[in-house]
Amino acid sequence: MTAAEAAVAVHGLRKSYGHLEAVRGIDFTIRPGEVFGLLGPNGAGKTTTVEILEGYRKRDAGTVQVLGIDPQRATPAWRERIGVMLQSSSLYPNLTAIESLRVFAGYYSKPRNPEEVVDLVGLSEKRDTRVRKLSGGQQRRLDLGIALVGDPDLIFLDEPTTGFDPGARRAAWDTVRGLRELGKTILLTTHYLDEAEQLADRVAVLRDGEIVREGTPSDLTGGAVETEIRYRRDGRDIVERTTEATRRLNELTAEALARGEELEGLEVRRPTLEDIYLELTAE
């Protein structure tokens, strides 16, 4: 895939603030229609990267193409095609939910119907409530709605579900899946690993401004990663790590059967994305 065909193509991207190197030469490509997750702890460079792609910040080095153009030379026509949900809420407190959507819909030439968007983000019952009377989670859902109301091709979601209760998170995930079905490209930053696992086709893990791992969520958890086997013997907890889980389990159970014992507390765990992430982002 060439840079022109990709929804987002980033090569050798660098950005410093004074002496702090926030992004230290990263490369990644997002295909049209893909949900791409940018994972990492706070301060890893996620927001800096996203804000360069959104056209807010100038890079120090590297090339960036977003929907075929350099975001430093953003035009209104390009902005028609992108949707942005910032990391912190950015709303007018005295407008109602539906009015907020109408205001932003008015900036686009072919917006989605605000009535439909208010349903989509689950705010139908709060459509006529002023923003300042909405809960934090409801305000975030309205932020999400505003990011969608222009009917963009590429949507940036910067920590979209931070502060959501579990029900609202699942609803937001369904919304994102719905967008994916519509063929939208989504760049999602998150520090919730289950969110990345649930939503992203591919993820890149950022640490200290560098991509330390990239692939599908199952690439990251699969491969030559060790499986953990736990059991109890003679009253002691034993933890083994092995890349040959089947053989090792067969040995253990055969031994136990030969002795006529039960393998107490037997647990076999494949590492989750969370384990990998913690390992990758550990200092």
Partner 1 sequence: MSLLGHEVRTEQTLFWRNREAAFFTFLLPIIFFVVFGSIYGDSHIKEEGGLRAAPFLEAGMIGYGVASTAFAGLAITMVIRREGGVLKRIRATPLPSWTYLVAVLVSTFVVFVIEAALIITIGRLLFAVPFPHEPFSLIAVLVLGALAFAAMGLGLTGYVRSAEGSSAVVNFIYLPMAIISGTFLSPEGYPPFLKAIAEVLPLTYYTRLTRNVMVHHQHLWSDLGAVGVVLLWGAIGLIAAIRGFRWEPREG
For partner 1, the binding residues (CB under 8 A) are 54-56, 76-77, 79-80, 82, 84, 86, 88-92, 94-95, 99, 103-104, 106-109, 146, 150
State the nearest-atom distance from the C-beta of 215 to partner 1, in Å. 30
State the nearest-atom distance from the C-beta of 84 to partner 1, in Å. 4
Contact of 198 with 173, CB cutoff 8 Å: yes
Of 186, 209, 150, which is closest to residue 16 (Cα–Cα)? 209
The beta-strand segments (E) located in 105-184 are: 154-158
Nearer to partner 1, 21 or 99 (CB): 99
Of 237, 230, 218, 210, which is closest to residue 276 (Cα–Cα)? 218
How far is it, in rounded angstroms, from Cα 123 to Cα 140? 11
Nearer to partner 1, 53 or 205 (CB): 53
State the nearest-atom distance from the C-beta of 49 to partner 1, in Å. 16
Nearer to partner 1, 71 or 122 (CB): 71
Nearer to partner 1, 108 or 173 (CB): 108
| Phi, psi (degrees; rounded to nearest 5) at 216 | -75, 160
Gyration radius of the chain over CA positions: 23
State the nearest-atom distance from the C-beta of 70 to partner 1, in Å. 16
Cβ-proximal residues to 224 (8 Å cutoff; 6+ apart), any chain: 243
- Both tokens of 22, joined, read 């926030």
Amino acid at position 14, single letter: R
State the nearest-atom distance from the C-beta of 281 to partner 1, in Å. 22
Nearer to partner 1, 45 or 271 (CB): 45
